[in-house]
């Protein structure tokens, strides 16, 4: 549970397309909370009677690096998350190149017999 005036994100890093959960306290009761990152809206929630909220956060842009999430709810709460982008190693491409090489080598061997 976050302390008053704090925004807590449930994970320190995410992969593209994953949803993050943000929890905050210290907002005004029964108020809409808008969550933004780099100027883009990434979530929305409503505070309860104690001024606390939990909201899903979803990034629409895939940009590796640290992103600050800001919750506006009468006060301004901030938290940070790293968006990690991994690349496939291209194992299928390597297999295809080897297969083509052996087919061409076989054709060449048959041709020169």
pTM as predicted = 0.70
- pLDDT recorded at residue 17: 83
Contact 73, 31 (CB under 8 A): yes
Question: Between β-strands 76-83 and 13-14, what pairing exists: parallel, antiparallel or unpaired?
Answer: parallel
Q: Is 27 helix (H, G, I), strand (E, B) or coil?
A: coil
Give whichever of 3-17, 76-90, 94-108 has the largest mean pLDDT: 3-17
Percent of the chain with pLDDT over 70: 76
CATH architecture label of 6-83: Sandwich (2.60)
Mean pLDDT (the chain) is 81
Per-residue pLDDT reduced to its tens digit, 77-98: 999 999 887 765 544 544 444 4
> How many residues are present in the chain?
113
How distant is the alpha carbon of residue 42 from its chain centre? 10
Q: Which residue has the higher pLDDT, 53 or 89?
A: 53
């Amino acid at each position: 549970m976050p302390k008053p005036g704090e925004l807590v994100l449930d994970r320190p890093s995410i992969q593209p397309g994953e949803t993050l959960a943000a929890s905050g306290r210290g907002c005004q009761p029964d108020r809409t909370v808008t969550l933004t990152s780099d100027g883009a809206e990434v979530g929305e929630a409503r505070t309860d009677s104690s001024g606390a909220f939990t909201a899903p956060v979803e990034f629409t842009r895939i940009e590796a690096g640290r992103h600050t999430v800001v919750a506006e709810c009468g006060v301004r709460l901030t938290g940070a998350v790293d968006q990690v982008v991994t690349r496939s190693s291209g194992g299928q491409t390597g297999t295809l190149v080897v297969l083509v090489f052996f087919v061409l080598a076989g054709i060449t061997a048959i041709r020169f017999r």
